[in-house]
Amino acid sequence: VPRPDLSVALGVPNACNACHADKDARWAAAAVQKWYGRPAQGFQRFAATLAEGSSADLAALALDVAQPEIARASALAALERRPSREAAPAIQAGLAQSDPLLRLAALGALRPFAPEERLRQAAPLLEDPLLAVRVEAASVSAGAPGAEAMPAFRRAAAEFEQVQRSNADRPEARATLGAFLAARGQADKAEAELRAALAMAPEFAPGYVNLADVYRVQGRDGDAIAVLDDGLKKLPRSAPLHYARGLALVRLQKKAEALQALRRATQLAPEDARFAFVYALALNDAGRRGEARAELDRALARHPRDAQLLRAREALLR
């Protein structure tokens, strides 16, 4: 059943307007309702959850065995950006599923967890029968205390490096390897890989962000800002670069400049709730409580069920 009503509500594509390109989704939705005499109904119910569901909704979808694996995996993947206590059982269950899509997505959802917890939960999958799962488990476990002492981690880490080096003609692979080496404490090798990625693709924003993060870990925030400034000369509308620059300026206690950078990130990527959350916290720390509340209200209008935004708004109301 075509669902142009979902196009209206969520901005997703629909089959009707693929042919009727001269009409909009509202026209198509009205036509479908006229045919059926009621709003369109489909067999799947997960589109709204994936688009704007809370962590609890996403966790429930991930656990629902009646739903397609791709939808459940998508819900787990979304939980990486919406960590919460409600998500933990769904992630644990995902790690034990027979479908590799679910195991992979559950591993990704572990990234916001503490390093020790990431390693504890990912460790069994370091010996998964599927290479893609093993290397993702290695990526998630990198940098966790005790990981380097585990033979299974070292084997999976070697496979991870081999996979990235087999794609070394791509800047994404060099940057991914650089971030992995940085997590393992190999800063010099990480810097070399990230520099190589940027030499290949000077407009590759993740390369600048990851290289700046290498410098952050070393306490070199001045160098981090220099790298980000270089990136912004080439990519002035990159929200992640402005965001990373704002965080570096916060660490250097340059609050006014930091607020400008964080504000620019929220303007360029209003769809990213994390940018708005951090900007609001920075405003509050600067004593601009009213502006912080207003920023959270704007963000909640776009992300009404985001747990971090809701908790921050509640805290500012006390």
The per-residue pLDDT for range 141-164, each reduced to its tens digit, is 999 999 999 999 999 999 999 999
Say what the pLDDT of residue 84 is.
82
In this prediction, residue 49 has a pLDDT band, given cuts at 50, 70 and 90, of: confident
Say what the pLDDT of residue 305 is.
82
Q: Which of 56, 64, 62, 68 is nearest to 91 (CA)?
A: 62
Say what the pLDDT of residue 231 is.
98
The C-alpha atoms of residue 249 and residue 257 are separated, in whole angstroms, by 7
The C-alpha atoms of residue 268 and residue 246 are separated, in whole angstroms, by 14
DSSP single-letter state for residue 170: S
Mapped onto helix, strand or coil, the DSSP state of residue 169 is coil
Say what the pLDDT of residue 43 is.
65
| pLDDT above 70: residue 40 | no
Say what the pLDDT of residue 207 is.
97
In the chain, what is the greatest distance between 2 CA atoms, to the nearest angstrom? 66
Query: What value does the mean pLDDT take over residues 238-262?
Result: 97
The C-alpha atoms of residue 9 and residue 44 are separated, in whole angstroms, by 15
pTM for this entry: 0.85
Query: What value does the mean pLDDT take over residues 206-220?
Result: 96
Cα-based torsion angle of the residue sequence 10, 15, 20, 21 in order, rounded to the nearest 10 degrees:
60
Say what the pLDDT of residue 14 is.
85
DSSP single-letter state for residue 142: T
| pLDDT above 90: residue 51 | no
Contact at 8 Å (CB) between 7 and 25? yes
| pLDDT above 90: residue 225 | yes
Say what the pLDDT of residue 1 is.
64
- Enumerate the domain spans of the chain: 1-43, 184-269, 272-318
Residue-wise pLDDT tens digits, 52-106? 778 889 999 999 999 999 999 999 999 998 888 889 999 999 999 999 999 999 9
Q: Which of 2, 41, 4, 10 is nearest to 23 (CA)?
A: 4
In this prediction, residue 35 has a pLDDT band, given cuts at 50, 70 and 90, of: confident
In this prediction, residue 42 has a pLDDT band, given cuts at 50, 70 and 90, of: low
The C-alpha atoms of residue 61 and residue 73 are separated, in whole angstroms, by 9
Averaged confidence pLDDT in the chain: 94
What is the percentage of the chain residues whose pLDDT exceeds 90? Answer: 78
What top-level class would CATH report for the domain 184-269?
Answer: mainly alpha
Query: What value does the mean pLDDT take over residues 21-33?
Result: 89
Say what the pLDDT of residue 261 is.
98
Contact at 8 Å (CB) between 308 and 274? yes
What is the percentage of the chain residues whose pLDDT exceeds 70? Answer: 98
